[in-house]
């Protein structure tokens, strides 16, 4: 959807912040049985930049390549978007779960597997049904004129 490097940076920042925030809220709720805005905001300044760097420089390109192993450029754009989003989750979820395990939990292979296992279904649902559509709506609203002018 983004057509310029600046648009891609803005899109990725918005996506990283909203996706990471949702997953932090989920993980805090799992760990404590409840959540407050402040508890969830504590990890956001640490995890959002990590997610942005990973997504922007590595994962987006890899996920796109993976998605086009089973999608064709002539397929419906929505399905291409869903496929790339799914591949992003498949790469980002284990990676971010590992980073969160190392930074915020007692690091061990078992802890990482548990964290990843709990996060994967939620990350996929959050991305495909809520975060992704919200971020695309925000992005289209922010860049409506530029995207219309570009045709």
Q: What is the pLDDT of residues 76-113, one digit of tens each?
A: 999 999 999 999 999 999 999 999 999 999 999 999 99
Angstrom distance (rounded) from CA 98 to CA 15 = 20
Mean pLDDT of 118-134: 98
Give pTM, 2 decimals. Answer: 0.92
Q: Kindly write down the DSSP assignment for every residue of 28-81, as one continuous string.
A: HHHHHSS--HHHHHHHHHHHHHHHHHHIIIIIHHHHHHHHTTT--TTS-HHHHH
């Amino acid at each position: 959807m983004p057509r310029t490097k600046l648009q891609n940076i803005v899109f990725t920042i918005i996506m990283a912040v909203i996706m990471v925030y949702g997953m932090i809220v989920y993980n805090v709720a799992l760990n404590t049985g409840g959540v407050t805005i402040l508890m969830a905001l504590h990890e956001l300044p640490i995890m959002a930049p990590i997610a942005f760097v990973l997504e922007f420089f590595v994962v987006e390109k890899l996920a796109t390549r993976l998605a086009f192993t089973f999608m064709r450029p002539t397929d419906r754009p929505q399905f291409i978007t869903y496929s790339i989003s799914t591949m992003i989750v498949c790469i980002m979820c284990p990676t971010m779960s590992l980073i969160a395990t190392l930074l915020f939990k007692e690091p061990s292979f078992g802890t990482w597997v548990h964290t990843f296992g709990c996060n994967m279904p939620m990350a996929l649902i959050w991305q495909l049904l809520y975060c992704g559509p919200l971020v695309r709506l925000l992005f289209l609203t922010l860049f409506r004129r530029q995207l219309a002018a570009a045709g």
